[in-house]
Amino acid sequence: MVYKNTQDLSKVQKERRKELRSPLRVVRMKVETNQDVFFGYAKNISASGLFIPTVNPRSVGDRFKLKFKLPDSSREIVVLAEVVWNRTYSKSEEYEPGMGVRFVEISEEDAEEIRRFVNSDGKKE
């Protein structure tokens, strides 16, 4: 499929989203794999996943444990995440490099905490 301009592409990308998203203030997180530990941050979150900006995104299908706290919360959320898409750095690309991950294992309590956060548009209730 060919898009005439970035507005067309942006419109299609938004239409593919299944869950409401909420912008995050920078949220520190810890990514744990069998090989290493990575500390980073997330920029937006939905009930089903989040976007992790990075110049070294993992491969689609990679799974890892992800730990993070939502703004104004002391509760640590722990999920098993899977990379569903990635975008590498390119000078010509207007979008930030990184990876989109979905939550494949999450407790009901953690899922509810995220839903409350997203439904409140990122504001503490």
* Residue 38: inside a domain: yes
Residue 90 has pLDDT above 90, yes or no: no
- Does this model's pTM top 0.85? no
- What token pair was written down for 2? 């060919």
Taking Cα atoms as reference points, which of 2, 20, 9, 13 lies closest to residue 120?
A: 20
Distance (Å, whole) CA 1 – CA 59: 23
55 within a domain of the structure (yes/no) = yes
Domain count, the chain: 1
pLDDT value of residue 34? 72
| Residue-level pLDDT at 22 | 57
pLDDT of res. 2: 37
Range of the domain at 25: 20-119
Under DSSP, the state recorded for 94 is: -
Tell me whether residue 8 is in a domain. no
Better-scored residue on pLDDT, 53 or 34: 53
pLDDT for position 107: 97
- Using 50, 70 and 90 to split pLDDT, how confident is the model at 122? low
Q: What is the pLDDT of residues 12-24, one digit of tens each?
A: 444 555 666 655 5
- How far, CA to CA in Å, does 65 sit from each of 7, 15, 16, 17, 75? 35, 28, 25, 23, 16
CB 80 within 8 A of CB 40: no
Q: How far apart are alpha carbons 19 and 74 in whole angstroms?
A: 24
Q: For residue 19, what pLDDT is reported?
A: 65
Least confident of 36-40, 42-46, 77-81: 36-40
Any domain includes 125: no
Per-residue pLDDT, averaged over 41-68, amounts to 90
Is residue 104, in this structure, part of any structural domain at all? yes
